[in-house]
Structure formats: structure tokens, C-alpha cells
Structure 1
Amino acid sequence: MQKKWVVVTGADRGVGLSLVKQLLDQGYHVFAGQFQQENDNALGQLKASHKERLQVLQLDISSEDSVKLALDEVSAVTDRVDILINNGAVLGDIQATVQEELDFAEMEQVFRVNTLGALRMSNGFIEPLLRSESRLIVNISSEAGSIGACRRTSWYAYCMSKAALNMQSQLIHNGISGQGGKVMVIHPGHVQTYMQGKLDEAGSLTPDESAAYILQRIENRLKQDEEGLELTLTDYAGNTLPW
């Protein structure tokens, strides 16, 4: 049976780590992007038990050089990538309103990660992706990027960066759908993660639950014909959200 190759960014913890675990359980060969540099980490433990099917990449998606090095590492192993999951993201300030002092330098960093980081990855890996059978880019977005559903008065960096990610996804979809390429834009749900610096216990989903839903959406998408299929922003359960 032909090997299936997946690249996952932001795989240190949370949904990204859960996606890696479950993809390995499904038999995929996974390249996991690691940003944190701790010696004792969950990815390292996974690597010990999945030596042949997990390769950890030191990856900072806000850096063009880091993405290029990651592409070189992947290309040394395989000439194709079946699925790219752009999961890496940062939150930024979620409190300040337009009537308060805004940290524009931090906002720029959030865009470098959440929006341009995904584009760096998709741009860098587009040729290996289009050489594969699945040819799928999965952008983990957010309901926070939905303009139609927006009721917030803050979260500037995160909301705006995810809205821009949604537009990026549409542009890529327009460019590769004629070549059999596929794009998905998924809101992973309100997940119990550490994006705010501490565990968000208010989240309705664990990372494992969110990852399982996302992978089910991916499986369903791979079974669909591409011709005439419009790109939509969907949540983890498959519901369509307004752009």
C-alpha cells in the first residue's frame, strides 16, 4: 500500500499534537512542526514509539528560512505530500478595543504567524502537494475570522488574521482546483487549549475531540469530487459559517 504523507504545523501541543497522534493511529506518515524547544516533550515521546512514521521538524512558520529548511527535510524523504494541515497560530491581545492603546507590533507578529505562516507553508509545499493523490490543504481557521458572525469589540489581531486566512484559502482554492487541488477551512470549535497562556477550561471540546472531528471532516472531503465544489468556512461538526 502506498504511504500517505501529512505535514502538521503547530504540533507541539493542543489540537496540533492531537492531530499528529490520531494521524499516526490511522497509519499516516507524519511530519510534525515543532516550535517550542523543550527537551522533554510530547512529540519526543511520540517519536520514540513511532520512529518510522513520525519526523519532527523544528519549524517557525513566521520565518521564511525555517519553512525552507522544513521543506528540504521533507523533500529528502518524499517527493510528495498528501495533506498539509496549517494549524500553527498565536492569539495576541484579546482585550484592547479601538479606544485603548493597541500593540501594533504584536499584531504584525500575529499576522506573520496566522496568515503569512500558513501561506509560506502552502506556497513552499504546493508542488509536493500537487504531485500527491489527495492534494489537500487544510487551514485551521476560526469563527473569529467570520465577518458575518462577528460580535466582538476586541481580538483585533486574531480576528483579522483569521479573516485574512479565509481569503487566502479562497485564492488558493481558485488557483489549484483546476489541477485537482483541494482546500478546506475549518473552525476547530472552542477547544481547551493554552493559547491564552493558561488552560481555557471554558472550552467545550478537548483537543482530542476537536482533532477527531477535524479528521472526520478531512475524510469526508477526500471522498468528494472537486468539480463545481465551492469553498466554505465550516466548523468541526460540518456546519457552514458565514464568511
Structure 2
Amino acid sequence: MSTYQSPKTALVTGGNRGIGLAVCQGLLEAGFEVILAARSLHRARTALSHLDREGKTVRLVELDVTNEQSIDRAVDELYQELDRLDVLVNNAGVYPDEEVDILTVSRDLLRLAMDTNAFGAIRVTQKLFPLLKKANHAKVINVSSGYGTWENLSPAVPSYSLSKLALNGATQLLAEALKPAGIAVFAMCPGWVRTEMGGDAAPRDPEEGADTVIWLATEVSVMQTGKFFRDRQLIEY
């Protein structure tokens, strides 16, 4: 006699556009119940119309990863609705380095990138840890960048590079800290993707950028925790 198992649940920050929206679609197709998190419910509702749901469940939550009150409200709401969280995709990010370099970038720009791309992922993971540890083999997937690797740090994109370098470091620290709870933490690089952030000249579409996230969520063993991937291949930090 078979025992019913409820679908796995995944939360995607910055899920309302670009790679985040493609991740939501891919996870739905993989059988997940998806929580689409965006900075406003208006953005989330607009994004919902672009998803092919086919009767599958999509929850919407307002979550600004740079705002502690917004994180707390979202987490309180999720605790009331969920008994566990199987996958957290820390996708929300900014690329603010227009017409600046490491010699001209302002403290405010550095702070914005670091707060969104690195500190936001850390805080969301911290707050959702109680739900993650209730799942069997939960996974945290941090959407990073090749610009955050030691070999590819660029003085032309200083705040983005430094924030993704910090996110890569946070991935390794979180992986070590969460290993006793059976939670895996991965970083991935989606490549240069045609999004609002990446621009029209980028060679990849959002689905290609999202592919490794879906693969990590569905196929990769938690034993690979702490590793960094691009195109389903292990790469160096």
C-alpha cells in the first residue's frame, strides 16, 4: 500500500522576473509547490500570470531581502502556512555598477550590492532555518556569478564582484554550519543571461540560466554541499 507524500516546497527570492521566474517555472514542472517571493505583492501577482501552473500551487509572498521587517513578516506568514521548506533559492540580486569602477564606486553602491546580494541571502537563510531543518535533505541554492570567483574579480564591476565573492564565502560557511542538520548549501553561476540585469546582448535565455538551479534542487546529492557549479559542472571558487 502506497503512502501519500506531499509535494516538496521551494521558495525563490526575486522570483518575479528573469532567472527567478524561470526557476519558479522549472520547479513547478519538476513537481514542487513554489513560493514566489518578490519585493511587492504587485510584482508577484504580475509574475504569476507568466507562469504555466497547470493547477499546481504557487504561493505569493512579499519579501524584500534588504529589509529586516519585510523578512520577519514574510517568515511569520510562512511559519503559519508551511510545515517544512525543502528548497530555498536565494536569487534576489542587483547589478548596480554602471559607469563606475573600483576607483570611483561609492560606499552607498557597495553597501546596496552587499546588502542585497550577500547579506540578504544570509539573513533569509538564517530566518528560514527552522523550516529547512524539518525537511529531509533540504537544500539552499545561492545564485552567484563567475564575477565572484578569485580568477574573475573585475575592477569594472566592483560592488557586484565583491558582493558575489562574499556570497560565495557565505555559501561555504553556511554549508559547514548546516551540515549537522542535513541541509546542503550550493552556489551556482547562471552565466550571462538576457534579463533586465543582463541586458539584451546576453547569449543565454532565462531558462538556460535557471537550468543548474533546477538540477541542484532535483538531482544533486546533499553530499556535494559547499560546492560551486556552472552548467551542471563543478567549478572553482
TM-score by length of 1: 0.87
Does structure 1 residue 241 correspond to structure 2 residue 235? Answer: yes
Does structure 1 residue 178 correspond to structure 2 residue 180? Answer: yes
Amino acid at match of 2:190: P
Amino acid at match of 1:7: L
Which of 205, 229, 232 is equivalent to 2:227?
Answer: 232
Amino acid at match of 1:17: L
Say whether the 8 Å CA contact 1:146–1:242 is kept in structure 2: yes
Say whether the 8 Å CA contact 2:44–2:60 is kept in structure 1: no
Cα deviation 1:63-96 (Å, max 9, x = unaligned): 1111111111111111210000000000111432
Say whether the 8 Å CA contact 1:12–1:36 is kept in structure 2: no
Say whether the 8 Å CA contact 1:192–1:203 is kept in structure 2: yes
Higher mean displacement: 159-168 or 69-78: 69-78
May I ask how many residue pairs the two structures share in their alignment?
233
Higher mean displacement: 20-29 or 114-123: 20-29
In structure 2, the CA distance between the partners of 1:76 and 1:50, relative to structure 1 (3 Å rule), is farther
- Counterpart in 1 of 2:125? 122
Does structure 1 residue 143 correspond to structure 2 residue 138? Answer: no
Which of 20, 28, 33 is equivalent to 1:29?
Answer: 33
Q: In structure 2, the residue corresponding to 1:76 is in which secondary structure?
A: helix
Distance 1:172 1:40 in 2: 28
Does structure 1 residue 102 correspond to structure 2 residue 116? Answer: no
Q: In structure 1, the residue corresponding to 2:152 is in which secondary structure?
A: coil
Does structure 1 residue 131 correspond to structure 2 residue 131? Answer: no
- Counterpart in 1 of 2:216? 217
Q: Displacement, 1:225?
A: 5.4
Which of 185, 188, 191 is equivalent to 2:190?
Answer: 188
TM-score by length of 2: 0.89
- Counterpart in 2 of 1:167? 169
Say whether the 8 Å CA contact 1:115–1:161 is kept in structure 2: yes
In structure 2, the CA distance between the partners of 1:54 and 1:147, relative to structure 1 (3 Å rule), is same
Say whether the 8 Å CA contact 1:47–1:55 is kept in structure 2: no
Say whether the 8 Å CA contact 2:64–2:71 is kept in structure 1: yes
In structure 2, the CA distance between the partners of 1:16 and 1:135, relative to structure 1 (3 Å rule), is same
Distance 1:39 1:87 in 2: 15
Structure 1 unaligned blocks of 5 or more = none
Amino acid at match of 1:201: D
Between the aligned residues of both structures, percent identity stands at 24
Distance 2:188 2:76 in 1: 28
Structure 2 unaligned blocks of 5 or more = none
Amino acid at match of 2:48: G
> 1:52-63 maps to which residues of 2 (within 5 A)?
53-63=57-67
Higher mean displacement: 73-82 or 90-99: 90-99
Q: Displacement, 1:34?
A: 1.3
Say whether the 8 Å CA contact 2:184–2:225 is kept in structure 1: no
Q: Displacement, 1:124?
A: 0.4
Distance 2:168 2:78 in 1: 26
Distance 2:62 2:108 in 1: 24
- Counterpart in 2 of 1:87? 91
